[in-house]
Structure 1
């Protein structure tokens, strides 16, 4: 393994985004055969088990990874690596204990959750995934430490390995159970049990990176001390020296808890929304759907909508992780111009890159859903939720900016207000609008949190995202969306007599080409993307984009 180095914001974001994209693709790949392998009851059990597991996992980590990332970054910026190491060890201890306690609790309380969901088979799948909690809290702490050191490759690599092992072994176990004739309930449990194998694989990868970094740090300290001794300078203490751990851990846990509870609330928001919808769907929509219709809608929502609408926020998730240590370091040193530059940059990247994926999934949801899954049922919910993710992306990114600026309580307060609005509007709208009432309530939540976050960020640093370029940017978005919808609609009509999958493929491909190509061309033609923006892009993209900019500028001059 080569020497571990710090990653810049852009590079770190790309690493995490690539890892998240691969992980999301593999997760989607798992759900495709799952849709074919299981019936509606099995799909509901699989989705419900994953949602409750994600919530419990976040409780087990209690926001520690983000807190560790911030605390480690600050201490290395201030030249206190020994304190950073104790923060890391404190996180590992908490992860081990919390993971064990909550794994036992989740296993024991699985039947209670099955009663709440009001669907049989859920308890078996929940119990199958519970042992994964023994590994993932520890993995989360290790990823938080590496992010604090601005070394994103460790977490990215472990995430990819985890997903490969989880998906492949989970599907193999599910197929084997079905071949043995055990039925959908046991098959759903077998597929979810793949997460346990994924956790073991990811933990192994993180241990390898941790050993490598420990040797690298020790070598760096020895080298520095040798040079310092020759120059009659004071030696640097080893980051692994022994201290009063009990006293230090008490101080560390006090600081972590002060930040981790707000981080837990903000990070749990999306999973809470998904869990709330899956858990109370049958009860909230019983006046709108028959039981058979509700079962079908819930199966489609848990399997299709959640997985497809989770694609556009991938970059925002990566940015949210990589921006915290960058802004935290600048803010701790009172470099407010750097905070403003980095925060504006990350919001601009979100606008340029997150929106087209949401647009494509919105305008071509019918074809994409029909191509990937058994059929296009549930595509309306996919389109509506994908459109809502545009606000979800800005919510997640602005939450991380506030967190990096040392204002976790503000983001927590805003998120709580948003989640309360989600619950209130879900209860009010779902009985009359069904699944769309739940999605509208989620959109209101995202919008409320985003507005509050940006309002408070601008009180301290004035973000300059697009400035006067907002109007041409919105025009580019609207034209691209309309053209993409027209392309899909036309191709579906032309290929009506073709085999379904081929028709969906042609229509989805046409929509993707039109949305992606027209969106990029209009951003350049309307001068929404400027040479200054291009300078912040990864090096391989700068040359081609600058050439295109010059072409459009010459065309505008003529």
Structure 2
């Protein structure tokens, strides 16, 4: 394969990954407006368990398959390549079905465990995507092994387009038809299913298009070896398992948060947990048996028995003589419920008050009780902010840094295979330096501009607005360590030590799990965020320590002062504009979101420009390293250098001599 072909393929995958990630992040903005923070909690719970199980379902086989297909086709062993692909395809079909069945079965139990039984519908709505995505991943690995990147890139983009359209449009339609928020969230989760159908369609189209060429290749190979499934899978899993466990880091962190946060943020007396179809329930610190199992009314509203639940929560129910009305009292809540009519609480329409089918047991919507649990409601909103707003924004700083550094990592692998220690040292340091220089300003921008960015993109009440900004700021700051963690893991893989990132991630996950339980009781949601950053720091430190045993890293060297001062300047400019905006906004007759949008853009322009200019003048970056940046960045630099805004780049003497020659 030529160098140009490799670079073209890398560019296609990088662009597709960037577009897909931006679309994926972008979909959460309208979703948060449609479903609110509590709705985003349910969406986050369903999406996080799906993401984790999807990685387990594929077990890193696509990456291993890509490597094996590339090796077989390079030496003309087309039959062996095709046998390996078929075995991987069958593996994906089986594991996809197993994970789909598992999600459908565990949905009520997992939703109950998270203290969000309303999430059951969303988990089951996203589960069918598991039938196709492992197969899609295998087909992507197959085409990448053939150095044909277009199917992968196009399928990623089409997948996200259909996912976003469905995830935004379907909840709006369901709410318009009168369904409640739980069903609307399930509609949003179903976007993963339509996205998988679109991606699968693209992959099948390209596979059929290439089928004649595949048949010609198979016909040219007269002798071939019949591989057994045992041979194929043992070789494949040896390559794939370390990749799988390394890739699980971030999905596992988010899974831990969505699994434990409601429990950690809700006091025991306000914990309420049901499962549809099961009479066992947990209310506060009491385990009770209900006279009738919770059920779905019109596939829409989760209904639970009124009197036993009210009693367990410390409430009181009094009936009139004809049992047409029930008077409910709990603390400040005093309400009359009329059989056969919808219940309204705090102006919210919750659903009917009715007898369970074929019984005389009165039932009310589950939300009638959860709406009264103020700390629980606050925890639902808080987890929705973390999963719906903060985590989506925290995914942005990683895009550019990983895209830039990933192009350097294959060079590390090549230099290591040639035993070129000097090149390994130079390019490993360069990868980390590029990730740091490009990722840190993006993370710091979102940290200092969290208040206006939150106001521009998301919808929050006065009570949750400031909290949302703080959560976004703290989580985005922690992505600095995530960037270095991911880049250093890539370098270790380039050095052939795929086992080390796997071990380090396992240690980091244990730190995260223990950190949640140790820090959440002390600092609430900020303790959970701190545990995430601590996990990234531990894995990053272990990775860097391992790399240093192979080569001496010089990430910034003497440039650290310039880099640090430039980062501080960015933060100072951003915070100054935020402070000024707080003073000016009440004086300007303008919609708040529009003002915050303008403020966010102003902070981006001045703080990032200040950072970039200071970085050059304070020698936080060597101007000769500009040649490693994308062509667009190089053109922007030369334009600025022409007007002496930044120092001018002069090619090294050996380069000038070669040009003259």
TM range, smaller chain: 0.7 to 0.9
The answer as to 2:161 corresponding to 1:67 is: no
Provide closer, same or farther for how the CA distance between residues 238 and 340 of structure 1 changes in structure 2, counting only shifts above 3 A. farther
Question: What's the CA shift for 1:491?
Answer: 2.3
Question: What's the CA shift for 1:176?
Answer: 1.4
Question: What's the CA shift for 1:418?
Answer: 0.9
Question: What's the CA shift for 1:515?
Answer: 2.0
Query: Superposed, which structure 2 residues align to 1:6-155 within 5 Å?
Result: 6-8=5-7, 14-72=11-69, 86-148=83-145, 151-155=148-152
Once the two structures are overlaid, the 10-residue window that deviates more, 282-291 or 251-260, is 282-291
The answer as to 2:163 corresponding to 1:166 is: yes
Residue of 336, 339, 359 corresponding to 2:444 = 359
For CA contacts below 8 A with separation 6 or more, give which structure has more relative contact order: 1
Residue 470 (structure 2) aligns with: 380
Residue 205 (structure 1) aligns with: 202
SS at match of 1:280: helix
Residue 253 (structure 1) aligns with: 233
How far apart are the structure 2 equivalents of 1:172 and 1:363? 33
The answer as to 2:529 corresponding to 1:435 is: no
The alignment yields a C-alpha RMSD, in angstroms, of 3.1
Question: What's the CA shift for 1:106?
Answer: 0.9
Once the two structures are overlaid, the 10-residue window that deviates more, 307-316 or 262-271, is 307-316
The answer as to 2:498 corresponding to 1:408 is: yes
How far apart are the structure 1 equivalents of 2:376 and 2:132? 38
Residue 454 (structure 2) aligns with: 369
How many residue pairs align between the two structures? 535
CA contact under 8 A between 1:148 and 1:325: conserved in structure 2?
A: no
How far apart are the structure 2 equivalents of 1:342 and 1:81? 35
Residue 637 (structure 2) aligns with: 545
The answer as to 2:626 corresponding to 1:534 is: yes
Once the two structures are overlaid, the 10-residue window that deviates more, 446-455 or 259-268, is 259-268
Question: What's the CA shift for 1:338?
Answer: 5.1
Query: Superposed, which structure 2 residues align to 1:504-543 within 5 Å?
Result: 504-543=596-635
How far apart are the structure 1 equivalents of 2:501 and 2:157? 29
Once the two structures are overlaid, the 10-residue window that deviates more, 99-108 or 144-153, is 144-153
CA contact under 8 A between 2:83 and 2:227: conserved in structure 1?
A: no
CA contact under 8 A between 1:402 and 1:457: conserved in structure 2?
A: yes
CA contact under 8 A between 1:129 and 1:189: conserved in structure 2?
A: yes
Residue 310 (structure 1) aligns with: 395
Residue of 377, 388, 396 corresponding to 1:292 = 377
How far apart are the structure 1 equivalents of 2:41 and 2:21? 19
How far apart are the structure 1 equivalents of 2:167 and 2:388? 16
How far apart are the structure 1 equivalents of 2:160 and 2:502? 30
How far apart are the structure 2 equivalents of 1:490 and 1:527? 30
Residue 224 (structure 1) aligns with: none
Question: What's the CA shift for 1:403?
Answer: 1.9
- What are structure 1's unaligned runs of at least 5 residues? 222-236
Provide closer, same or farther for how the CA distance between residues 512 and 320 of structure 1 changes in structure 2, counting only shifts above 3 A. closer
Residue 233 (structure 1) aligns with: none
Question: What's the CA shift for 1:508?
Answer: 0.9
How far apart are the structure 1 equivalents of 2:250 and 2:432? 19
Question: What's the CA shift for 1:394?
Answer: 1.0
CA contact under 8 A between 2:401 and 2:436: conserved in structure 1?
A: no
Question: What's the CA shift for 1:212?
Answer: 5.4
SS at match of 1:419: helix
Residue 337 (structure 2) aligns with: none
**Which structure has the greater CA radius of gyration?**
2
CA contact under 8 A between 1:14 and 1:318: conserved in structure 2?
A: no
Q: Which has the higher helix share?
A: 1
CA contact under 8 A between 1:73 and 1:329: conserved in structure 2?
A: no
How far apart are the structure 2 equivalents of 1:327 and 1:174? 47
Residue 275 (structure 1) aligns with: 255
Question: What's the CA shift for 1:297?
Answer: 0.7
SS at match of 2:6: coil
- TM value normalised by structure 1: 0.87
CA contact under 8 A between 1:39 and 1:184: conserved in structure 2?
A: no
CA contact under 8 A between 1:285 and 1:294: conserved in structure 2?
A: yes
CA contact under 8 A between 1:4 and 1:213: conserved in structure 2?
A: no
How far apart are the structure 2 equivalents of 1:409 and 1:125? 35
Question: What's the CA shift for 1:78?
Answer: 7.7
Query: Superposed, which structure 2 residues align to 1:475-514 within 5 Å?
Result: 475-498=565-588, 499-514=591-606
CA contact under 8 A between 1:13 and 1:318: conserved in structure 2?
A: no
